[in-house]
Structure 1
């Protein structure tokens, strides 16, 4: 039997969720959802671009839906992300989209953190916006000031941001500015 105060809290939470428009709620992979946390980067903030990328209206940035090494099949990302050190990640970003295509780059720390869905975990991304996204760490372009050979990464298992050595192997999600 549940103590009365838990029943009251659960009823309040369910009532709050019922009053929240479905479009504003983030969709979490495998039901990995914290219903007490408001959606921070749901699909409703993104516009599909028809080429495996999304425009994040709030930041005016265009994101690749898949990590480097994965392929967009029109519905989800397939394959495994390529893990690389930071120098290789910078070179891979610089060589993506040449020949008239948009120029992709590594996002800075704040840009990458802007797509973290605080309501979700494993991965901390909206599953409709970034389907089949691996819950791994991704490089940013932001070095740690006075951190020696360290760069900020965003861990999409839980959305945390922390420093990693530049020779560590991480995934890469590219971004570009709106033309």
Structure 2
């Protein structure tokens, strides 16, 4: 009985040994793939995803048919979906704040980097709507910018115009003219430019004691009298007097009723009023002896006309092309020397 059992035990041992010996040879690739997979997992735990990815790629390259490789493919696909979803969420966030340009940037990045993901498919469907929304937003932005520029331009026009008005109120007409002209040159088509032109058409030139107006009138700021800048018979062309002054007898001169520059109440000045026009370029007036009014009644300038002082004795810039000679007044003493 003992002789029979020994061979059976040996046979069982050999069979078991053979079975145990064959197992490692049947699963070599799988075990190596699992070993790499575990290393990759350890690296992920250590926040070294880039190195872990190298192991995953190594598994797919060296052991593509293993179960581990299938798990790697699934893991990588899920990772791609997750990364793609992160970008897609950025698309949605940018869209929500109406930053369509940035939303399109994220959208195209998602489609290019993760073309086979679910998020890429959703991004592709959203692309056309985002492009249209971007065009609408850009058009609105351009309109807002144009309106802003128009408002800024209008404010700039108003500032210039108000500055001109301030100078005009101060009778600083030279600076007022500069600002009105600036409005015309910089904003020629604006309604403010039209107002500035209307102001310029009436803006006087300040010379000595006079304000010379473009309509051919002048105002004496001392006496408050308004004068025609041209002698009767001459014509005002907008800048000077042209033509020849007429000569009148005193009765005819008094009888003249002239309409000019929108006024119809022009008259001959009195002798006192007429003498206020006398201007001596040498600064030396010649006074007449007329009692208590002597200081207010001077007829001419000391010295020889044309030699010691300019002739005619009047502010030529205000009364251009005034003829030299005598002018009538409404006073009965019209034959006074110098009149």
Q: TM (normalized to structure 2)?
A: 0.29
CA distance in 2, matches of 1:118, 1:152: 21
1:136 aligns with 2:331: no
CA distance in 2, matches of 1:43, 1:102: 26
Tell me which residue corresponds to 2:207. 43
1:44-68 Cα distance to aligned partner (Å, 9 max, x none): 2111233101010001000000000
CA distance in 1, matches of 2:229, 2:335: 21
Tell me which residue corresponds to 1:148. none
Deviation at 1:102, TM superposition (A): 3.7
User: 1 or 2, which has the higher helix percentage?
Assistant: 2
The 4+ residue runs of structure 1 with deviation greater than 6 A are none
CA distance in 1, matches of 2:338, 2:331: 11
From 266, 277, 280, the equivalent of 1:115 is 277
CA distance in 1, matches of 2:212, 2:323: 20
> Can you give the 5+ residue segments of structure 1 that lack an aligned partner in the other structure?
1-41, 145-150, 154-159, 163-179
Q: TM (normalized to structure 1)?
A: 0.54
Tell me which residue corresponds to 2:233. 69
Deviation at 1:152, TM superposition (A): 4.2
From 251, 259, 263, the equivalent of 1:97 is 259
User: What secondary structure is seen at the aligned counterpart in 2 of 1:140?
Assistant: coil
User: What secondary structure is seen at the aligned counterpart in 2 of 1:88?
Assistant: helix
User: What secondary structure is seen at the aligned counterpart in 1 of 2:255?
Assistant: helix
Whether the 8 Å CA contact 1:52–1:64 is kept in 2: the answer is yes
CA distance in 2, matches of 1:48, 1:127: 11
Whether the 8 Å CA contact 2:268–2:328 is kept in 1: the answer is yes
CA distance in 2, matches of 1:85, 1:43: 32
From 310, 313, 316, the equivalent of 1:124 is 313
Tell me which residue corresponds to 1:80. 244
CA distance in 2, matches of 1:60, 1:102: 18
User: What secondary structure is seen at the aligned counterpart in 1 of 2:331?
Assistant: strand
Deviation at 1:76, TM superposition (A): 1.1
CA distance in 1, matches of 2:258, 2:238: 20
Whether the 8 Å CA contact 2:214–2:239 is kept in 1: the answer is no
From 161, 168, 176, the equivalent of 2:338 is 161
CA distance in 2, matches of 1:75, 1:101: 19
User: 1 or 2, which has the higher strand percentage?
Assistant: 1
1:135-166 Cα distance to aligned partner (Å, 9 max, x none): 1210000112xxxxxx246xxxxxx634xxxx
- Across the aligned residues of Structure 1 and Structure 2, the Cα RMSD in angstroms comes to 2.1
1:87-130 Cα distance to aligned partner (Å, 9 max, x none): 110111xx2129x7340000001111101111243211111111
Structure with max Cα Rg? 2
